[in-house]
Amino acid sequence: MLLAGTMKKGRGAVELVKHWINGAEKTSKSGRQGEVFNPALGTVSKQVDFADIETIDSAIANSKSAFSPWSQTSLTKRVQILFAFRHLLNSKKEELAAIITSEHGKVLSDALGEVTRGLEVVEFACGIPHLLKGGYSEGVSQGVDVYSIRQPLGVCAIISPFNFPAMVPMWMFPLAIACGNTFILKPSEKDPSCPLRLAELLKEAGLPDGVFNVVNGDKESVDALLSNPNVSAISFVGSTPIAKYIYENAAKFEKRVQALGGAKNHCVVMPDADLDQAVAGLMGAAYGSAGERCMAQSVAVAVGNIGDELVSKLTKEVNNLRVGPGLDKGVDMGPLVTAQHLEKVTSYIDLGVKEGAKLIVDGRKIKKPQGYEKGFYLGGCLFDHVKENMRIYKEEIFGPVLSVVRAKNFNEAVDLINKHEFGNGVSIFTRDGDSARTFSSHIKVGMVGINIPIPVPMAFHSFGGWKRSLFGDQHVHGMEGVRFYTKLKTITSRWPSGIKATSNFTMPTMN
């Protein structure tokens, strides 16, 4: 089970979530901790130790010394370890999901889905011998051959968000490790337990100590990772202002960087759409995980005269949402992650009303489940007649709040989306192939769904948004992931066999 020490807090004793360095738990001397909540109950369940600079430096030094032997470990051996990890993950899925639900709040089936999506990246990484095959050109000149290989970068790190404590780190580390890098994970301080359990499983799978380290903490830890010259690459997933900060600073310290930010995902419902299919899709995409997903659909764009019928169907469904503790069966939506986040989302609902949008379903009025009165619950909220200039349209709310915007026609819907600062995911519901094709070709968004509400690409394709939803060049996993975690080397070789040696002072050509 979870590795955690115990510390006294008030009259009770709570576990202390530590760090994982060189294959074992470590505590820092920082004296700083954060509170981890059980959002269903609204109580503090654990404390998490915040690393000081010495702890971060020791994790980096450890990762650095593990790099040389690991990068020289055969591909076959690396794959055997990944297969063993995949097997362990699969057999511990339920346990991992329960840990996620207890700290994040999402319903258990959703947490299981998260682990499965991470597992798919591990499966993709098991194919690394094939993915790392380079190119070879024989005889480009007399006796001259050229070949390209991809080599690992060194110590790579991820700073990850609270909303996918297992899946988002698994977007990165299976491939990073498979490519021969060593890896440091800095999880969100809000739900740090699952990442530590993943570290235990990696060790059990046979991964050598030091190849995978976990450091917990806040900005101080992040800044120490950013400025240390022994870290070669940084991946970040989180909100846009921090993504921009990470992108700029990682570049300043000459690191490779990909920084994925926030989102405002639109779902266009055309007049010819199968409306029941669109409503069912929207419900899961807007309210699943209480809207705390970067691919959540927070804006429905009703095109033409479909608006009233769409809103009427949505209203019925939103009113029927079952909200409660994520571990309970039959619950659609769990609590939000913290009281602070609940307050932020609620303030956006207050703002929407002030801005003049029509609040059709008010989730603030929800009756909390018996025995869970202190939990961070919010019911599903539905706004209609939301306008482009409203802050509830422009900004990411990251809660169970769906805004309906009306657009006169297809072109107006496309223009609206293309003007938005974010470009993570988007969907269109239509029966018309022409509209669907024009939409996918003209829309300025990284991931597009056609009659698919949450178009998260499979592990062998790559995940990433456009505009201010991603700073950097490479998307994550798939071949973009392999490219991010390796650098290309091209070797031109000649084996002289009877070629006359001559000095040549002109630019070499292969003639």
Which is closer to ligand NAD, CB of 191 or CB of 384? Answer: 191
By the rule CB under 6 A, 165 interacts with ligand NAD: no
Binding mask 404-443 for ligand NAD (x = CB under 6 A): --------------------x-------------------
Binding mask 245-284 for ligand NAD (x = CB under 6 A): x--------------xxxx---------------------
Q: Does 239 bind ligand NAD (CB under 6 A)?
A: yes
Binding mask 24-63 for ligand NAD (x = CB under 6 A): ----------------------------------------
To ligand NAD, the closest distance from the beta carbon of 192 in angstroms equals 9
How many contiguous H segments (helices) and E segments (strands) does the chain have?
A: 16, 24
- In the annotation, is 294 catalytic? yes
Q: Residues with Cβ < 8 Å from 96, sequence gap 6 or more?
A: 89, 111, 115, 166, 194, 197, 198
3-state secondary structure (DSSP) of residue 69: helix
Q: What does the alpha-carbon distance between residue 462 and residue 476 come to, in Å, rounded to a whole number?
A: 5
- Write out 360-374 in H/E/C secondary structure: EECHHHCCCCCCCCC
Instruction: Answer yes or no whether residue 174 interacts with ligand NAD by CB under 6 A.
Output: no
Rounded to 5 degrees, φ, ψ at 359 are -85, 105
Q: What gap in Å lies between CA 142 and CA 145, rounded to an integer?
A: 9
Checking phi first, is residue 68 left (phi over 0); if not, alpha (psi -120 to 50) or beta?
alpha
Question: What does 37-68 look like in DSSP terms, one character per residue?
Answer: EETTTTEEEEEEEPP-HHHHHHHHHHHHHHHH
Q: Which of 156, 194, 267, 294 is catalytic?
A: 294
Tokens describing residue 89: 């993950």
Least distance to ligand NAD, CB of residue 304, Å: 30
Cβ at position 264, least distance to ligand NAD in Å: 9
Q: Minimum distance between the CB of residue 463 and ligand NAD, rounded to whole angstroms?
A: 7
Q: In 3D, which of 184, 193, 190 has the Cα closest to residue 98?
A: 193
Closest CB to ligand NAD among residues 161, 325: 161
Interaction of residue 131 with ligand NAD, rule CB under 6 A: no
Using CB under 6 A as the criterion, which residues of the chain lie in contact with ligand NAD when the complex forms? 159-164, 168, 186, 188-189, 218-219, 222, 237-239, 242, 245, 260-263, 294, 396, 398, 424, 465, 469
Active site residues: 294
